[in-house]
């Protein structure tokens, strides 16, 4: 959608045009829904968050100045709503233990685990994908969010910067740190062989 088309759409929605509103929803629903799905972890919450995202966007359309893309603006709303929901859920029940500090900030090396063989092959299989998604859930929210925006939604660094209000350089390093964290979680779970830790892994690898 070009800037002009976007502006026209925004105008129409402001005027209460239901069709225009639905066009907006259909245009962005896949990314918004998947963002919410990965962040909240279940389809019901994802649907709620997605609907609320679009309704909130409509209610606050006056704040949209076109200085970022409509998409980025929507993803920002969806991110905030997802995180709000996670916070509420956390208050209700004790979340599974998630360390919130960033690797690299707590002294641990900020590097990808040393892997041998071809991890790509394993990860491309269905169980590999499932393992990655499960490990993604163990990341701190912000790291999870940035990886969802990048890898699931396929946003460019620029769009991620708009959505999360970050500088491009920060986007780049945060994505890397999130990936390093994810790879380390994967390695700990034994999703792929890590020669340096193979002894340990063979002991506590689960079926």
Partner 1 sequence: MEDHGYWQEQLSAFVDGELSPEEEAELREHLEGCAGCRSALALLRGMTGALASAEEEPPAALPEGTRFLFEREKTDRKFILKRWRFTAIAAVVCLALLGFGTQAPRLFGGNTAKTEAVSAPMAIADESPTASLMEADEAEPAPAEAQKGATLRASGGGMPTPEPAPQAPAAADSAVYGSANGAWSGETPAEDSGEAQENSPDTAAGTSPYYMYSTEGLPGYAIYQELENAGGWYCVCFVYGEMLPSIREDRICVALESPEGQERWKIPLSVFTKEGLREQFNEIYYGDQLSQEVLVIGILDMEEEKWLP
Q: Which residues lie closer than 8 Å to 202 by C-beta, 6 or more apart?
A: none
Q: Is residue 107 exposed (0-12), middle (13-18) or buried (19+ Cβ within 10 Å)?
A: exposed
For partner 1, the closer of residues 58 and 190 by Cβ is 58
**Contact of 66 with 7, CB cutoff 8 Å:** yes
Write out the residues near partner 1 by the rule CB under 8 A.
14-16, 18, 21-22, 25-26, 29-30, 32-34, 37-38, 43, 47, 50-51, 54-56, 58-63, 110-124, 128-129, 131-133, 136, 147-148, 150-154, 156-157, 172-173, 175-176, 179-180, 182-183, 186, 192
For partner 1, the closer of residues 132 and 166 by Cβ is 132
For partner 1, the closer of residues 44 and 204 by Cβ is 44
Closest CA to 34 of 179, 145, 177: 145
Take residue 174 and report the two structure tokens written for it. Answer: 């945060």
**Contact of 30 with 152, CB cutoff 8 Å:** no
Rounded Cα distance between 135 and 191, Å, is 10
Residue 120 Cβ vs partner 1, minimum distance, rounded to whole Å: 4
For partner 1, the closer of residues 61 and 166 by Cβ is 61
Residue 94 Cβ vs partner 1, minimum distance, rounded to whole Å: 27
Residue 154 Cβ vs partner 1, minimum distance, rounded to whole Å: 7
């Amino acid at each position: 959608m070009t800037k002009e088309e976007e502006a026209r759409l925004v105008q129409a929605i402001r005027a209460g045009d239901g069709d225009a509103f639905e066009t907006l929803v259909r245009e962005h629903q896949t990314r918004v829904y998947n963002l919410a799905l990965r962040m909240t972890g279940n389809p019901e919450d994802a649907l709620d968050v997605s609907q609320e995202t679009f309704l909130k966007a409509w209610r606050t359309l006056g704040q949209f100045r076109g200085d970022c893309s409509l998409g980025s603006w929507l993803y920002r709303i969806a991110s905030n709503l997802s995180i709000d929901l996670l916070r509420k859920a956390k208050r209700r029940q004790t979340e599974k233990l998630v360390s919130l500090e960033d690797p690299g900030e707590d002294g641990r090396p900020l590097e990808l685990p040393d892997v041998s063989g071809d991890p790509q092959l394993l990860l491309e299989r269905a169980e590999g994908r499932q393992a990655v998604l499960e490990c993604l859930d163990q990341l701190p929210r912000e790291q999870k969010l940035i990886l969802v925006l990048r890898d699931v939604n396929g946003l460019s660094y620029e769009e991620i910067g708009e959505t999360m209000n970050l500088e491009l350089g920060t986007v780049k390093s945060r994505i890397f740190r999130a990936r390093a964290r994810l790879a380390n979680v994967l390695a700990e779970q034994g999703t792929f062989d890590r020669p340096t830790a193979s002894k340990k892994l063979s002991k506590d690898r689960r079926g």
